[in-house]
């Protein structure tokens, strides 16, 4: 196609003329926008595209750097592509394929060679050196469009049966793959156009596998540092072990169960596992109650299912002859005019210091000393604390369950005896993967939950949830994730079937987002992700299911 096109840079509104078929990386070189890193990808008319994409029509572009979630994902996918190639080329001691499992400890955990012994430090060093050589060679990363049958056969020769099955299930005639110096892989989402655009990373031994570490968002010149998260790792692998035993580690076998109408058992097992987790936590609290624990703090990120968990824990504790009394940290907010503000000048309700900490600590101390205490309610309309005559005097057989995002922060209840506190961390630690080389983000899992819930129960459009999510994530990284290992026990609220269930309500909401909306790129990405799942109905979900907090039909009152 001959001729010229006009491209507008979204931020500056600058317009330039290019030859038809120009690549996005060449467009970037012409505009040279002010970014905090090299460009990772670009939004073209609010759809995320890789930088090797050619443009044939007039359009508006916005280049995305590493400091954004989208840019971060592109960088990590490119690292995964390079790691896959390096592992295939090295093939030490029968090791070929790397299987990516989940994010943990500031990196991405993967297994190098299923069923083989844990890789040695020397093997990991050789693998890292091979990756560095691929980066230094600055290979072009090509996008190829190949027949699906050819792709499926290629993946089977690599022993990647789950990847092959997922491509076959989509039923398309052709699929896109990325090719690097003769190595092909099927990574879902944009990658960088050249391996040499990777500027730093690390690869270290971790547990029984490897940990791939991308640049630190706070200082992108250096890789992330490994942080110890043994409890999170254990929570992930408890669920992953169940998925392996059921033969549904990835989307393809889950889809097959759904197509065959055999998913009811999976729902029953997933729900039973959660019930067992809650019963185990209740048993430990009961044991610790005898030793003086009187406060249970339940914390976790947005849409992790804290509220339903707390209600179900309430039931199990009653079975154990302990009477729980529920409180919310939200009721201890400062009055609106005293609330701290963020860097944008908006009220920062995610901050620990949005709580009236002295008053909270005094109230807990008085309750633990046996005093009768008035309990506040925060009126979100007036932005002030009110009292409605509710009082509590904690008796010997009673215990407080306090829910709130800051429950694991050690500064929350300074001065309150630690021996009187039991902490639980709740999060959707997603263990289901797309296939061997494509994992599912726990953040995406929670975003889908929040979007569906806020639409169903608060009348909010998908755009509101999508626009807020980046700020929510920033708050979580600052106020929640650093403290998750402070938990006495963790509850993994993710269920292997849930995205297939969420899809039914999430897709129509995402389809309502208009192309002209800045959120369209995220809506488009999530829609493409949901296309991989077969939908399921809710008939077999019990009314006490944690998912019903988001989908509706719960027997609990929220």
**Location of each CATH 3.40.50.300 domain in the chain:** 231-551
pLDDT of residue 158: 87
Is the CATH number of domain 231-551 3.40.50.300?
yes
* Mean pLDDT, rounded, of the chain: 95
What is the predicted pLDDT for the residue at 317?
98
The architecture (CATH level 2) of 4-65 comes to Roll (3.10)
> And the tokens for 136?
């230094």
Written in H, E and C, the secondary structure of 373-411 is EEEEEEECCCCEEEEEEEEECCCCCEEEEEECCCCCCCC
Q: pLDDT value at position 1?
A: 56
pLDDT at 242: 94
71-227 in CATH: which number? 3.30.980.10
Residue 368 has pLDDT above 60, yes or no: yes
Residue 107: is it exposed, middle or buried by C-beta count within 10 angstroms (0-12/13-18/19+)?
A: buried
Helical pair 148-157 and 161-170, crossing angle rounded to 10 deg: 170
Whole-number pLDDT of residue 92: 74
Q: Tell me if residue 99 falls in helix, strand or coil.
A: strand
Structure tokens at 433: 């993967």
- For residue 115, name the pLDDT band (cuts at 50, 70, 90): confident
Residue 211 is predicted with a pLDDT of 98
Domain(s) labelled CATH 3.30.980.10 in the chain stretch across 71-227
Q: Exposure of 302 by Cβ count < 10 A (0-12 exposed, 13-18 middle, 19+ buried)?
A: buried
Q: How far apart are CA 21 and CA 92, in angstroms?
A: 42
pLDDT digits (tens, 9 = 90+) for 35-65: 999 999 999 999 999 999 999 999 999 999 9
Residue 110 reports pLDDT greater than 80: yes
pLDDT score of 113? 80
DSSP readout, 323-336?
EEEEEEGGGGBPPG
Contact 557, 505 (CB under 8 A): no
119's tokens: 């890789």
Question: Long-range contacts made by residues 355-362, C-beta under 8 angstroms, separation at least 24?
Answer: 355/329, 355/406, 355/412, 356/332, 356/385, 357/411, 357/412, 357/414, 359/332, 360/329, 360/332, 360/412, 360/413, 361/413, 361/414, 361/415, 361/416
pLDDT in tens, 117-170: 889 999 999 999 999 999 999 999 999 999 999 999 999 998 899 999 999 998
Best CA proximity match to 296, nearest among 274, 317, 271: 317
According to DSSP, residue 446 is labeled H
- Looking at 193-250, list the stretches that DSSP marks H as alpha helix, in order from N- to C-terminal side: 230-246
**Residue bearing tokens 């999060």:** 427
Q: State percent of the chain over pLDDT 90.
A: 93
Residues of the chain with CATH 3.10.20.30: 4-65
């Amino acid at each position: 196609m001959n001729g010229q096109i006009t491209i507008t840079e979204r931020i500056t509104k600058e317009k330039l003329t290019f030859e038809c078929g120009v690549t996005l990386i060449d467009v970037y070189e012409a505009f040279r926008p002010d970014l905090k890193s090299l460009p990772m990808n670009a939004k073209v008319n609010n759809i995320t595209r890789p930088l090797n994409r050619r443009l044939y029509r007039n359009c508006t572009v916005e280049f995305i750097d590493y400091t954004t979630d989208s840019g971060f994902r592109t960088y990590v996918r490119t690292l995964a592509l390079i790691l896959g190639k390096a592992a295939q080329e090295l093939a030490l001691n029968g090791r070929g394929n790397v299987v990516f499992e989940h994010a943990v400890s500031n990196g991405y955990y993967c297994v190098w060679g299923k069923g083989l012994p844990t890789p040695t430090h020397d093997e990991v060093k050789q693998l890292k050196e091979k990756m560095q050589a691929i980066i230094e060679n600055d290979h072009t990363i090509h996008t190829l469009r190949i027949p699906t049958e050819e792709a499926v056969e290629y993946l089977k020769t690599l022993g990647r049966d789950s990847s092959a099955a997922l491509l076959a299930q989509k039923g398309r005639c052709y699929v896109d793959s990325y090719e690097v110096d003769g190595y092909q892989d099927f990574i879902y989402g944009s990658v960088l156009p050249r391996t040499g655009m990777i500027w730093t990373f690390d690869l270290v031994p971790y547990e029984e596998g490897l940990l791939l570490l991308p640049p630190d968002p706070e200082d992108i010149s250096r890789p992330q540092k490994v942080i110890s998260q043994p409890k999170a790792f254990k929570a992930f692998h408890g669920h992953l072990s169940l998925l392996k035993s059921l033969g549904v580690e990835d989307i393809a076998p889950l889809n097959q169960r759904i197509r065959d109408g055999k998913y009811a058992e999976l729902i029953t097992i997933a729900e039973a596992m959660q019930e067992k987790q809650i019963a185990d936590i209740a048993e430990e609290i009961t044991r610790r109650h005898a030793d003086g624990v009187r406060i249970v703090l339940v914390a976790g990120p947005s849409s992790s299912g804290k509220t339903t968990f707390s209600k179900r824990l309430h039931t199990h504790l009653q079975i154990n002859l302990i009477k729980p009394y529920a409180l919310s940290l939200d009721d201890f907010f400062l009055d609106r005019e005293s609330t701290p503000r963020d860097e944008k000048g908006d009220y920062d309700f995610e901050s620990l210091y949005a709580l009236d900490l002295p008053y909270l600590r005094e109230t807990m101390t008085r309750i633990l000393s046996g005093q009768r205490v008035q309990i506040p309610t925060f009126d979100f309309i007036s932005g002030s604390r009110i009292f409605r005559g509710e009082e509590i005097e904690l008796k010997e057989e009673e215990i407080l369950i306090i829910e709130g995002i800051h429950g694991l922060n050690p500064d929350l209840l300074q001065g309150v005896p630690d021996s009187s506190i039991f902490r639980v961390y709740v999060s959707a630690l997603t263990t289901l993967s797309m296939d061997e080389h494509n994992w599912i983000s726990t953040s995406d899992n929670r975003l889908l939950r929040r979007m569906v819930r806020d639409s169903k129960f608060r009348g909010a459009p998908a755009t509101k949830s999508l626009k807020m999510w980046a700020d929510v994530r920033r708050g979580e990284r600052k106020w929640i994730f650093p403290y998750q290992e402070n938990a006495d026990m963790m509850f993994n609220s993710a269920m292997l079937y849930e995205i297939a269930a969420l899809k039914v309500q999430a897709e129509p909401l995402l389809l309502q987002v208009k192309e002209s909306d800045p959120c369209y790129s995220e809506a488009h990405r999530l829609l493409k992700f949901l296309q991989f799942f077969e939908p399921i109905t809710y008939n077999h979900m019990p009314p006490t299911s944690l998912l019903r907090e988001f989908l509706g039909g719960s027997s609990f009152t929220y």
